[in-house]
Amino acid sequence: MDFICTLFASEFFYYLCIKFTTSLHIMKHLSIFSRLSYLLFFVLLFGQVACIEKECPKGCENGGTCENGICNCPEGYAGVSCEVKVNPCFALGCDTLHSTCNTSGSTPFCVCDEGWEGEDCSKTWVEKYLGTYNASETCDGTSDNFTIEALYAPKQNAFTLKYFHNAMSAGVPAKIVADLSSTNNFIITPQPMSFGTVSGSGEYYTSNRSMLIYFTIISLAGNDTTRCELTLNRQ
């Protein structure tokens, strides 16, 4: 029995074990009633000891609770004693180059710089525009269908419409640069082409990844204006 008692890591439990084994030797010489009383005493004693939880050495701060020597920290706090306030921006992963973290309200969020979006502000406004589209165009009653590509432009917050085609271009593929005024809106500033000057505006629809563009073409002579509507649907 002494060997079994050495298995207890705690000196206190080792002491109780030794006392219990010693009591077994004593109980051999006692009446049945006395033996039962001895056993009941040790059962109650071990039961009380088993209910004693290990305390947290430094206690738990900021509303933390101690369970078996370990602090369970409330949301927003960490550390051995819940003494460290966690920066909520770390969990959000806000892009440090293109955003700031707003913690003024109950729920923190990333505030994106102009030209950037997404929960962590890591995506540019332009990215969602890029791709190949099926184009459907109407210019003063004349309709046409073709394929058009949206590519990166050589400047920030802008994209290029490649293979731009219309009723006046006579099959000449052109490139139009659209400047973003917001994440879903853009402006086509007057741009001279071989068939005239193009200008207009448009909107991007995130739900179905499409664009609707209204533009005008002023002829090279300046005496004729063509008004067009262009619908682009992502392939």
pLDDT single digits (tens) 105-160: 878 899 999 999 999 999 999 999 999 999 999 998 889 899 999 999 999 999 99
In sequence order, the β-bridge partners of residue 213 are 202, 230
For residue 4, what is the enclosing H or E element? helix 2-5
- How far is the C-alpha of 100 from the C-alpha of 95, rounded, in Å? 8
Reply yes or no on whether the pLDDT at 39 is more than 80. no
- How far is the C-alpha of 15 from the C-alpha of 169, rounded, in Å? 99
pLDDT single digits (tens) 109-123: 999 999 999 999 999
Beta-carbon contacts of residue 191 (< 8 Å; ≥ 6 apart): 176, 177, 197, 198, 199
Reply yes or no on whether the pLDDT at 103 is more than 90. no
pLDDT single digits (tens) 172-214: 668 899 999 999 999 999 999 888 899 999 999 999 999 999 9
